[in-house]
Structure 1
């Protein structure tokens, strides 16, 4: 009986040792339906993700109103600090169109699409398991 109690106590303390819960401090931009907007031909935005602090995921969106080539660029200030970092592009329904792993020696990631049907919306997602970095997207 004492062994079961000791095991139960040991298992109960595991969450306390594991760090922050995924997206526990991300705010609204951790969810696609609360993504923050970007604007075509306007300056980009700067934000950060920090897996160590529970801000694992940021979502953004861009509305494209005219047909043509659209390029979206992510610049990660400290890619070497993001463990398990992923940058991805999604369609207006959330379906993943492209996905790039953040590499420690590569600060810039881009997605290009030839848009024929407008208006359309693209979603962008940056996530990291751990580490912290500022990023810009536009």
Structure 2
């Protein structure tokens, strides 16, 4: 089952990269548009959690944008998230949550996310996160 999920994710990435022979752009990781996309991905992934603690954006490692034929664009973002002290059922916004310190077995997640931006609206198409073995009680998740 995991292999099927990975194959679907890679297929989405390949499809995003091959659209109409569009050029792949590499904007600055700290540009406002890229940060907006990363925060949208963070919020989406936190909304999908059913147990454990919320994750906060730590850093954006790499980003690619691919123009779409409809005038929108796709973002392929590699980012790191850190576990917070806020439980997923806590209504507090993740921006107000404290990141769990290392001595409390902090979980770090490396995530690859594909987002679509059409008409100024960002939406997550797929994501895959992994963390160090034995550190995270949740399995990697691929959503399509």
Q: TM-score, normalised by structure 1?
A: 0.28
> Could you say which structure has the higher helix fraction?
2
Please identify the structure whose Cα radius of gyration is greater.
1
Higher relative contact order (CA 8 A, sep 6+): 1
